[in-house]
Amino acid sequence: MLNVGRPSRPGAVTQGHDLESTYTGNKALNLETPLIFEQGVKGRVGVDMRDPKEVKSRLGGLERNEEVGLPDLSEPQVVRHYVRLSRQNYSIDAGFYPLGSCTMKHNPRINEKAARMKGLGDIHPMQPVSTVQGALALIDDLAHWLKTITGMSAVAMSPAAGAHGELCGIMAIRAAHDAKGEQRTRILVPESAHGTNPATAALCGYKVESVPARADGRMDLDAFEAKLGPDVAGVMLTNPNTCGLFENDVKKIADLIHSVGGYFYCDGANLNAILGRTRPGDLGVDAMHINLHKTFSTPHGGGGPGSGPVVLSDALAPYAPVPFVVEEGGNYSLQEQVEEGAAKSFGRMKTFHGQMGMFIRALAYMLSHGSDGLRQIAEDAVLNANYIRVGLDDLLNSPFEGVCMHEALFDDSTLKDTGVTTLDIAKAMIDEGYHPMTMYFPLVVHGAMLIEPTESETKETLDLFIGSMRHLIEKAQTSNDPEFFVQAPKFAPRKRLDETAAARSPILRWTAPE
Amino acid sequence: MRYMPHTAEERQAMLQKIGVSSIDDLFVDIPEDARLTGLLDLPKHAPEMDVDAKMLAYGAQNLSPSSAPSFLGAGAYRHHVPSVVDHLIQRSEFLTAYTPYQPEISQGTLQALFEFQTQVALITGMDVANASMYDGATACAEAVLMACRATRRKKAILSCNLHPHYREVTDTTVQFTDFSVESLPPSIDGVEDLTADLGKDIACVVVQNPDFFGRLQDLSDLADKCHEVGALLVVVVTEVVSLGAVRSPGDMGADIVVGEGQSIGVPLSYGGPYVGLFATRQKYVRQMPGRLCGETTDQDGTRGFVLTLSTREQHIRREKATSNICTNAGLCSLAFSIHMSLLGEVGFAKLAKLNHSEAAAAADKISAIDGVDVLNETFFNEFTVKLPVPAQDAVEKLAAKGILGGVPVSRLLPNADGFENLLLITVTETNTDDDVDQLVAALKEIANA
């Protein structure tokens, strides 16, 4: 299945004789580029470097004697390839990206500049700590901001992403129970949770039990209470939850889990909605990860890298992973090894000290906003989401009553009998120049459409978006023309792609034609 | 506040449209006694100019390897990154896109990932690679979990010469699972018997090449011995540039190759974000963790790319997923891929040869110092030096002279006896002859003090 030869030009596939075809496969500014492996000529080079010295080899007879198989291109060829590729991507810089649960906000460029500054972007993780006092001060200052924002007593900085942060939090919970000699076996997770929650709990050896949602979209408190017992290690609750709602029983949930000796893990993916309005530490949370790449604007980069520091309560702080920065009288050092003791660190989660590049960006973002700006973020994010909610809820059904937090959730009930699905609406949104909302998540809502506008967007953008959505929904309901939707997107670089075929016989790499 | 567009009038109009009188009405679900009324105890918002100055001030307190001779390695390597790389990854369309869940408008990210997967498979000598992991150490831990799943066995053996952080991360990751890890104790001469406990209960053996101390070895025999008992050989590569000069792990019989891709295209950035590489044999594809990009066609029959085999992943499988990982190292994998595209076959081989020759020349000069020994017989661009004094003290003295002289082994292995005087020295294409001469002169002084 890997030995499939590739056409040498995209045009070889798309050429046709109708009016919309071109010889090259390009369409004016829509420029195609073949795979990098289908380009280049042996002997070209894209990097000049000095000639190696003549030395006795120390490779121990292990010299590579076969070609790797990489193509040879000049620098301008490589530039053109990636510029063309980039133009086939939608991005927050180019347009509205209301992808629920992902907090696609503006990524300020001062953050990018800072991450590349001399003394920040180019320092080595194993330099003597005496030569990186500024770096350690930066990490410590960021930790202070995170602790202050969340009202928590400690923070583990090293987790590399949200799911990695979850792993950190649940491992701290497991370590705390183990230290007390308690063997607990279950973790309770609401059924609306992100898939990473149960996957994380399983990796820590816990059995995952799902707690159903109430009619108002919050976790069912009675069902939760009924599942509690001395064998419950903790609960993983997203708040605001994945339906875009604040779990108004959160303090009762915290009290209940604590009453059986369990811990409260909060998935902080949606922290953006509550910045400066409430603090997880005041809600009884024991551990929460913070997605710096969501709430604090470090760029998503097409899927990463992220950064997921975890704030911890006093009860869990002793179990935090190494390393951590220690400050004494303005002098910074690093605790890099686990020190033995009854309550001790559960270990190490990644090489070195965490996602420094993301720390720099996040701190620049926080300094830019300050306490007043952070609160304004939450207020505008929530304002924008509610503005979309009321702009659409006469046409689309909001499954839950009342105000929402940072994202507006709709189900697909008003599309019933139209032949048009949530997916079709999403693809039609692409033709209108939007990135679609999150679809079919959370799983507790049928045909879910989860719209998160963030605080970055203007009222004009929201009005146009509401108008566009109304146009599409009304068209779906009245035109009796599902084909219009099924054919969407018509104007994207690709029509709908065959994902079933991709999974049935996977082609995961280029292979040289026979 | 420059990032938020609403005027007070607009906010009022929007509240009115929503049907509430104040913003507080939108936060009523927060329990009353947990609502913040005032501002957090933090500074107020700042102009960009002030933020710029503040960040510069942090940087100014650090000794930058760009302005000091630097011989640091131990899992993170300073290489020249062509200007094109950083320029291209800062294009808005790459930088500010999310995970390519809508393939019709994400072909840029997806095709780049497909090319990345191919490059990683080629340099490691494997069939397939995923779309990247957080870093090399987390990729190593995931490899152990995958080997346990694939073999339905529960134990892994880790070489004594594996990077200590990789061992610690692997230990940490498996500690609450049904799986266990046997780590051989670090050895100064590199001698270990990885086959002593190798039996039909072992899922995999994990070995690093070049190892933590810089040594190279042929792993073919070890691969055969693993395969005889049905165990997998996991090979860790922390310096991927070495693959331009050294036989690939796949060629030596590895079943899974994991590595740190930072050396190609990714700045040091005090240890992260980096890019974990993960490659394996075709038959294990469905056991792989992480995102995978695959080729398909659109409705018109035009080639296109999508994320695929997602039934392995957490958002579908939840607690039964192959891993809890969601994020990859997206932009770092793009940087890797662009740099690799610039290098090509010729450049990759030459870069590797250049690194090796600079390191070999430096090792000759260093071993000529009285009282200083280079312990390695084989190495790529990093080797272990035995000093007559503790290495920790030596690097502090070197730093005082403005030289970042290497990584003391004891910083990563503080509890191992007899390692105090060992210093890891890396020499790359970024080091000049003058850098090396400065290091040699300073080491001479330290050795003779």
Model confidence pLDDT, tens digit, residues A405-418: 999 999 999 999 99
- How far off is chain A from B332, nearest CA to CA, in Å? 7
For chain B, which domains are there? 69-80+345-448 (3.90.1150.10), 83-339 (3.40.640.10)
Does residue A52 belong to the interface with chain B, where contact is any CB pair within 8 Å?
yes
If you average pLDDT over every residue of chain A, what do you get? 94
Count Cβ atoms below 10 Å from residue A20 Cβ, excluding itself.
8
- Contact (Cβ atoms closer than 8 angstroms) between residue B195 and residue B223: no
Given a cut of 50, whether residue A2 has pLDDT beyond it is no
For chain A positions 200-259, those within 8 Å of chain B (CB to CB) are 200-205, 208, 245-246, 248, 250-251
Give the nearest partner residue to A277 out of B17, B27, B169, using CB atoms: B27
pLDDT band at residue B186 using 50, 70 and 90 as cut-offs: confident
Amino acid B321: pLDDT? 72
State whether A370 and B119 contact (CB < 8 Å).
Answer: no
Amino acid B325: pLDDT? 74
Can you read off the two tokens belonging to residue A353? Answer: 């000290």
State whether A353 and B166 contact (CB < 8 Å).
Answer: no
Using the structure block, give the residue that is written with the tokens 């957090």: B40
Does residue A360 belong to the interface with chain B, where contact is any CB pair within 8 Å?
yes
Given a cut of 50, whether residue B127 has pLDDT beyond it is yes
Amino acid A3: pLDDT? 36
Given a cut of 80, whether residue A313 has pLDDT beyond it is yes
Q: Cis before residue A323, ω within 30 degrees of 0?
A: yes
Give the nearest partner residue to B268 out of A67, A124, A506, using CB atoms: A124
Does residue A299 belong to the interface with chain B, where contact is any CB pair within 8 Å?
yes
Three-state SS for A105-173 is CCCCHHHHHHHCCCCCCCCCCCCCHHHEHHHHHHHHHHHHHHHHHHCCCEEECCCCCHHHHHHHHHHHH
pLDDT by residue (tens digit) across A56-76?
999 999 999 999 999 999 999
Amino acid B189: pLDDT? 80
Can you read off the two tokens belonging to residue B336? Answer: 């890797």
Amino acid A25: pLDDT? 87
Count Cβ atoms below 10 Å from residue B432 Cβ, excluding itself.
11
Phi–psi pair at A493, nearest 5 degrees: -55, -25
- CA A143 from centre of chain: 20
pLDDT by residue (tens digit) across B332-368?
999 999 999 999 999 999 999 999 999 999 999 999 9
Chain B residue with CA closest to A90: the answer is B105
Given a cut of 50, whether residue A1 has pLDDT beyond it is no
If you average pLDDT over every residue of chain B, what do you get? 95
Amino acid A38: pLDDT? 96
- How far off is chain B from A326, nearest CA to CA, in Å? 16
pLDDT by residue (tens digit) across B99-109?
999 999 999 99
Phi–psi pair at A266, nearest 5 degrees: -110, 125
Chain B residue with CA closest to A355: the answer is B272
Q: What is the mean pLDDT of residues B218-236?
A: 98
pLDDT by residue (tens digit) across A121-158?
999 999 999 999 999 999 999 999 999 999 999 999 99
State whether B4 and A376 contact (CB < 8 Å).
Answer: yes
State whether B109 and A89 contact (CB < 8 Å).
Answer: yes
Given a cut of 70, whether residue A18 has pLDDT beyond it is no
- How far off is chain B from A426, nearest CA to CA, in Å? 9
For chain A positions 328-357, those within 8 Å of chain B (CB to CB) are 336-337, 346-357
Q: Which residues of B touch A364 (CB under 8 A)?
A: 51, 55
Given a cut of 50, whether residue A501 has pLDDT beyond it is yes
Amino acid A6: pLDDT? 53
> Which of A268, A291, A303 is CA-nearest to residue A160?
A291
- How far off is chain A from B344, nearest CA to CA, in Å? 5
State whether A63 and B411 contact (CB < 8 Å).
Answer: no
Q: Which residue has the higher pLDDT, A469 or B322?
A: A469
Chain A residue with CA closest to B138: the answer is A350
Amino acid B415: pLDDT? 85
ipTM of the complex: 0.97
**Which CATH code fits A111-366?**
3.40.640.10
pLDDT by residue (tens digit) across A30-52?
999 999 999 999 989 999 999 99
- Contact (Cβ atoms closer than 8 angstroms) between residue B421 and residue B391: yes
Q: What is the mean pLDDT of residues A366-391?
A: 98
State whether B271 and A114 contact (CB < 8 Å).
Answer: no
Give the nearest partner residue to A124 out of B78, B89, B345, using CB atoms: B78
Q: Which residues of A touch B302 (CB under 8 A)?
A: 10, 13-14, 25, 494-495
Q: What is the pTM of this model?
A: 0.97
Does residue A17 belong to the interface with chain B, where contact is any CB pair within 8 Å?
no
Chain B residue with CA closest to A508: the answer is B294
pLDDT band at residue A239 using 50, 70 and 90 as cut-offs: very high
Given a cut of 60, whether residue B236 has pLDDT beyond it is yes
Q: What is the mean pLDDT of residues B19-36?
A: 97
- Where in the sequence of chain A do the CATH 3.40.640.10 domains occur? 111-366
Tell me the C-alpha distance between B335 and A14, whole Å. 30
Phi–psi pair at A343, nearest 5 degrees: -105, 105
% chain B with pLDDT above 70: 98
pLDDT band at residue A193 using 50, 70 and 90 as cut-offs: confident
pLDDT by residue (tens digit) across A201-222?
999 999 999 999 999 999 999 9
Q: Which residue has the higher pLDDT, A489 or B323?
A: A489
Does residue A443 belong to the interface with chain B, where contact is any CB pair within 8 Å?
no
Q: Which residues of A touch B107 (CB under 8 A)?
A: 85, 88-89, 493-494
Given a cut of 70, whether residue B274 has pLDDT beyond it is yes
Amino acid A334: pLDDT? 96
Give the nearest partner residue to B97 out of A91, A430, A508, using CB atoms: A91
Q: What is the mean pLDDT of residues B196-206?
A: 96
Give the nearest partner residue to B270 out of A135, A250, A277, using CB atoms: A135
Given a cut of 80, whether residue B58 has pLDDT beyond it is yes
- Where in the sequence of chain A do the CATH 3.90.1150.10 domains occur? 373-501
Amino acid A17: pLDDT? 55
Q: What is the mean pLDDT of residues A491-500?
A: 95
pLDDT by residue (tens digit) across A168-188?
999 999 999 999 999 999 999
pLDDT band at residue A513 using 50, 70 and 90 as cut-offs: confident
List for chain A the helix, strand, coil content (%; round to 5): 35, 10, 50
Tell me the C-alpha distance between B77 and B422, whole Å. 19
CATH of A373-501, one of 3.40.190.10, 3.90.1150.10, 3.40.50.720, 3.30.70.940: 3.90.1150.10
Give the nearest partner residue to A507 out of B103, B251, B294, using CB atoms: B294
Does residue A156 belong to the interface with chain B, where contact is any CB pair within 8 Å?
no
pLDDT by residue (tens digit) across A251-301?
999 999 999 999 999 999 999 999 999 999 999 999 999 999 999 999 999
Given a cut of 80, whether residue A466 has pLDDT beyond it is yes
Give the nearest partner residue to B58 out of A25, A120, A276, using CB atoms: A120
Give the nearest partner residue to B39 out of A72, A282, A375, using CB atoms: A375
A-B contacts at Cβ under 8 angstroms: 730
Chain A residue with CA closest to B3: the answer is A456
- How far off is chain A from B395, nearest CA to CA, in Å? 7
% chain B with pLDDT above 90: 92
CB-count burial class (<10 Å; 0-12, 13-18, 19+) for A226: exposed
For chain A positions 444-473, those within 8 Å of chain B (CB to CB) are 455-459
Chain A residue with CA closest to B79: the answer is A122
Q: What is the mean pLDDT of residues A444-468?
A: 97
Q: Cis before residue B210, ω within 30 degrees of 0?
A: yes
